[in-house]
Amino acid sequence: MLAHRFPPSGGAGVQRNLQLARHLPAAGVRPIVVTGPGTVEYRWMPADDALSDARVQAEIHRLPTTEPPHGNAWEARFERWLRRPARWERWWNAEAPELAAKVGRDADLVHASVAPYYTASTAIRIARRLGLPLVMDFEDPWALDDMLVYTTRWHRRLEVREMGRMLAAADAVVMNAPEARVRVLNAFPGLDPERVVAIPNAFDPTDFAGPVTPRDDARFRILHAGSLHTELGLEQRNASRLRRALGGGAPGVDFLTRSHIYLLEAMAALLARRPQLTRSVEVVLAGVFTGPDREVASRYPFVTLRDFVPHAGTLELMRTADLLFLPLYDLPPGRRTGLIPHKTYEYLAAGRPILAAVPDGDARDLLEASGAARLSRPSDTAAIAAHLEAEIDRWRAGKASAVPDPDVVARCSSERLINELSALYDAVVARAASSSSPRPRRAGSPS
């Protein structure tokens, strides 16, 4: 199991790999994890030592050398323009195959968590070296992701071509949402549809097993947990004509709605109309914040920032909130998003009402089926304000909140994730065993 995103790193990106390490052994699968040294901390992977708990049943092997730093802006810009491997990529490509070849000699298959995306080529090298079938596991749809911005439209096309080469070298491709699977099959019609599956993320029921301390502050609390994308949204809005002409972004996508801006504007409008609510409500934002995130929040006195809270603390905030806010980027009419943020599953497990400002797509479908979500379009401030008002009035009247459909919640648990992945492993290993000789390398796949 190749997984750069793994504890003690935190954030939403590690949760899927962590659940596999905790629960695959109960399904008869013994994970041997190859991961980084666990010492580098940056925005998308803040340290969370509490995640390395006794529930992890995997055999863990860490790369022995220091991981290069992330986030050098000028270096990253140079690498993007010239499509050169980053220092981090060169380090991973040099170190991971040697360790994997040593610890994976008796394995039955290679499971690759493809994040960052360029780790796909490393996974292919390792699977070929060990002579094992390869399962590529994607949490986001790589070059087909609406949130990725490339230097030019030609860079995007080259990345799509590269993605196609990598997927063709896998024995199974796992996408994180049904719409993402549809996009992959449409973009790469040469792929065998039976080898491309959708297995969404999940929440871990053991994370929700214990009690939480009830709040006694007598305020209506709206919570957003996780990253905000204010900086990226403002950069997109302020892009130069030249940058727009180069066309490196997905057309018609608005990133700024995947932030707290529209929620705070809606709340401010509601309080201006009903100032008697001012002392009764608060918006809590819990995550890792950029300067623009903080600047926007500072305009509103009803906002409280909680700088990175460990996962257990974040779940307690979810379970004691009065309303959970889920924003996504906006899309043109008729388009569906292939992304379901990981917090969606934990929001449902928390059993609290949800206000989701999301476009059409898998996330909206799931929340609508739950019966516990108020839905609006991502930029519809008036609808967001109306939903806020209705939930606050319900709370003030002492009426019970909507509860997510238990059947929908059950489908979002890690039990489903583990069962589906272990069944896929069985199928992949059986296909490999039925071949009388090692499967030849597909044309165009990397050596």
- Separation CA 350–CA 115 (nearest Å): 27
| Per-chain mean pLDDT for the chain | 89
- Residues in CB range of 33: below 8 A, 6 or more apart: 1, 3, 6, 17, 21, 58, 59, 60, 61
Quick one: pLDDT at residue 443?
A: 35
> What does residue 219 show for φ and ψ, rounded to 5 degrees?
-125, 150
- Separation CA 141–CA 149 (nearest Å): 13
Other beta carbons within 10 Å of 198? 18
What's the pLDDT tens digit per position in 105-140?
A: 999 999 999 988 889 999 999 999 999 999 999 988
Quick one: pLDDT at residue 441?
A: 38
Tell me the β-bridge partners of 330.
Answer: 254
| pLDDT over threshold 90, residue 88 | no
Quick one: pLDDT at residue 445?
A: 39
Q: What is the mean pLDDT of residues 342-362?
A: 96
| pLDDT over threshold 50, residue 447 | no
Quick one: pLDDT at residue 38?
A: 77
- Separation CA 184–CA 173 (nearest Å): 10
The CATH architecture annotation of domain 12-202+414-434 reads 3-Layer(aba) Sandwich (3.40)
What's the pLDDT tens digit per position in 181-239?
A: 999 999 999 999 999 999 999 999 999 998 999 898 999 999 999 999 999 899 888 87
Q: What is the mean pLDDT of residues 349-357?
A: 97
Tell me the β-bridge partners of 281.
Answer: 220
Residues of the chain with CATH 3.40.50.2000: 12-202+414-434, 206-407
* Dihedral of the alpha carbons of 122, 125, 126, 131, in degrees to the nearest 10: 160
Tell me the β-bridge partners of 173.
Answer: 136, 196
- Per the structure block, which two tokens stand in for 241? 């004509």
Q: Length of the chain in residues, anyone?
A: 447
**272 and 241 in contact (C-beta within 8 Å)?**
no
Per cent of the chain over pLDDT 90 is: 68
Residue reference for tokens 């069985």: 426
| pLDDT over threshold 60, residue 301 | yes
Q: In this structure, what DSSP letter does residue 189 have?
A: T
**What is the CB-side half-sphere exposure of residue 373 using CA atoms within 13 A?**
27
pTM of the full structure: 0.91
Of 3.90.1310.10, 3.40.50.10490, 3.30.420.10, 3.40.50.2000, the CATH number of 206-407 is 3.40.50.2000
Quick one: pLDDT at residue 40?
A: 63
Give 75 or 347, the one with higher predicted confidence. Answer: 347
Quick one: pLDDT at residue 90?
A: 86
What's the pLDDT tens digit per position in 386-430?
A: 999 999 999 999 999 989 999 999 999 999 999 999 999 999 999
What's the pLDDT tens digit per position in 32-64?
A: 999 998 766 666 667 776 666 778 888 999 999
Q: Which of 4-8, 293-297, 374-378 has the lowest mean pLDDT?
A: 4-8
The one-letter amino acid at 51: L
- Per the structure block, which two tokens stand in for 11? 């954030």
- Separation CA 158–CA 149 (nearest Å): 13
Q: Which of 105-109, 211-215, 242-246, 339-343 has the lowest mean pLDDT?
A: 242-246
Q: Element (H or E) spanning 134, and its range? A: strand 134-137
Quick one: pLDDT at residue 66?
A: 84
Quick one: pLDDT at residue 237?
A: 83
Give 245 or 302, the one with higher predicted confidence. Answer: 302
**CB-based burial label for 55 (10 Å; 0-12, 13-18, 19+):** middle
| pLDDT over threshold 80, residue 29 | yes
Q: What is the mean pLDDT of residues 289-315?
A: 94
Q: What is the 3-state composition of the chain as percent helix, strand, coil, each rounded to the nearest 5? A: 45, 15, 40
Quick one: pLDDT at residue 444?
A: 37
Q: What is the mean pLDDT of residues 310-319?
A: 94
- Four-residue CA torsion sign, 13, 15, 19, 22: positive
